[in-house]
Amino acid sequence: MKTNTHVISSPFRVLQGALLLCAAGNFLCAAQAGAMQNQPAIGPNGVIVQSMFGGQIFGFDIDQAGTEGILCEAQTTDNGILAAVETFDQATGAIIKVVKMTETEDDFICFGVAGRSTALVEREHVISFLNVQRSFKVLDPLKKNRFTGNWTPPIDKNHLIAAVSRNQGVRNVAVYAQDLRNFQPVVFSSNVEANTFGPLVTITDEDFTSGGNPPMAYNSTTNQAVLGHAKLGNPFVPGLIATADLGAGTFTKFTGVGLGDVNGVAVDPVTNTACTTTEIDFSVEFYDLTNQTGFSQPLPNATNQFNSGADVQFDPVNRLFFVAQEHSTTAPSGSSIHVYDVAGNLIESIDGLNFSNAFNVVPAHISLNPNNRTGFVDGPDEGVTQLQGFNY
């Protein structure tokens, strides 16, 4: 192979090369400065979504593949309950359309966006006292701003759906339903867009059939629902983490490393890492679900249970966990969201938020759009009539 051994020896060419390097360096610095100026500041971005009729928000989500979001609201009026399903613009917060509005005794609950932009809403139609007919509508895709079909889960009227996992861009979600007769929950997978379902997996373990419903996440790679719960009879000892295989129907649990109730859970499907928050020790935990091992650390600057974390969500594009903290320990007041990588390193804290679980029928929730690094969370209105946008 011939080697190029030519050497620039002319002083003019040396000076010319130096000037070119200097110019290139100045251009690079200017480009980097411009990129930094264009990078949105971390924190609230000024976008506020207000429910159209001023009612409390009963669940919301945003479409990670689109520009819209969805919420349900309700409030008591002289004519009964005003309930509505609404879509909104992620960039401005403006309500785009009232998809459905009733003034009876009915309610709507938003279970989120699944798969490829398919939004899922439950309607609770009151026939008589304690006689409620539940049906499920989809907006497929959400941007159509109208109901396009039905979702018909394989459960009877004695089951109440408590949670649908927040998974977008993958085929299935996990669904958790409580049997109102014997309080034995079932979990199953569903392709919401196609209205198909996996087999029902009944949970009989007493640690997971007592007390409140456990938070749930879904690993689309392993087809497992991941749940967390306090130990039966003693909320002051390490809680429990469980996986339910939604194909094989097996249920496995192990003792966690955080104390008390598990308030939130999310999963990275690539590494099979779960992130949870626990109540008593105001901590965040990271688990290797394959080996059933994990470690715990307090939320930044947290010193007592008042500072415990709540909802946990995962950004599958940037590989980040988001932990909601109602009472901030990184800001003088209000709420914060703490962002961790999958190894458990704190990346940043998003301060300046104000969300509360005090009056929420549906607990405070984080919705993310990884493609433009924005999200929404409940607040700042304490009446739960608003959503607040943020950048990360």
Q: Are 299 and 282 in contact (CB under 8 A)?
A: yes
- Kindly give the pairing relationship between strand 366-369 and strand 374-378: antiparallel
d(CA 241, CA 214): 10
Q: Which tokens belong to 153?
A: 């889960």
Q: Tens digit of pLDDT for each residue in 44-82? A: 999 999 999 999 999 999 999 999 999 999 999 998 899
Nearest to 191 by CA among 203, 209, 175, 206: 175
Q: Kindly indicate the confidence band of residue 38, based on its pLDDT and cuts at 50, 70 and 90.
A: low
Q: What pLDDT does 281 receive?
A: 97
Question: Which phi and psi angles does 35 have, rounded to 5°?
Answer: -65, -40
Note whether 293 and 319 are within 8 A (CB).
no
Q: What are phi and psi of 283, to 5 degrees?
A: -125, 165
In this structure, of 95-109, 122-136, 298-312, 313-327, the range with the lowest mean pLDDT score is 122-136
pTM: 0.90
What does the pLDDT read at residue 11? 34
Over the stretch 169-209, which tens digit does the pLDDT of each residue have? 999 999 999 999 888 999 999 999 999 999 999 999 999 99
Per-residue pLDDT, averaged over 224-251, amounts to 96
Instruction: Specify which residues 175 forms β-bridges with.
Output: 164, 188
For residues 92 and 387, the answer to whether their CB atoms sit within 8 Å is no
What digits encode the pLDDT tens for the residues 109-135?
999 999 999 999 999 998 887 788 999
Q: Which helix (H) or strand (E) holds 18?
A: helix 11-38
Q: Residue 269 has which token pair?
A: 């499907």
What are the DSSP calls for 108-172, one per residue? EEEEEEEBTTEEEEEEEEEEETTEEEEEEEEESSGGG-S--EE---S--TTEEEEEE---BSSS-
What local confidence, expressed as pLDDT, does residue 184 receive? Answer: 92
Instruction: Kindly write down the DSSP assignment for every residue of 30-63, as one continuous string.
Output: HHHHHHHHHSPPSEEEEEEEE-TTSPEEEEEEE-
- In sequence order, what are the beta bridge partners of 252? 243
Q: Which of 380, 336, 384, 376 is nearest to 113 (CA)?
A: 376
pLDDT band at 165 (very low <50, low <70, confident <90, very high): very high
The mean pLDDT value for 213-221 works out to 97
Read off the pLDDT band of 4 (50, 70, 90): very low
Q: Are 255 and 238 in contact (CB under 8 A)?
A: yes
CB neighbours of residue 81 within 10 Å:
17
What percent of the chain shows pLDDT beyond 90? 84
Q: Is the pLDDT of residue 332 over 50?
A: yes
Work out the percent of the chain whose per-residue pLDDT is above 70.
90
CB proximity list for 188: less than 8 A, separation 6 or greater: 153, 154, 174, 175, 177, 197, 198, 199, 200, 201, 246
The rounded mean pLDDT for the chain is: 91
The reported pLDDT for the residue numbered 152 is 98
For residues 364 and 359, what is the distance between their CA atoms, to the nearest angstrom?
10
Split at pLDDT 50, 70, 90, the class of 385 is very high
pLDDT band of 167, cuts 50, 70, 90: very high
> Cβ(71)–Cβ(53) under 8 Å?
no
pLDDT of 25 reads 44
Q: Which of 158, 382, 365 is nearest to 265 (CA)?
A: 365
The reported pLDDT for the residue numbered 26 is 45
- Residue 28, pLDDT > 70, answer no
Tens of pLDDT, residues 344-366: 999 999 999 999 988 899 999 99
Domain coordinates in residue numbering, the chain: 46-152
The pLDDT of residue 359 is 84
Distance CA 327, CA 336 (A): 7
Res 14: pLDDT: 32
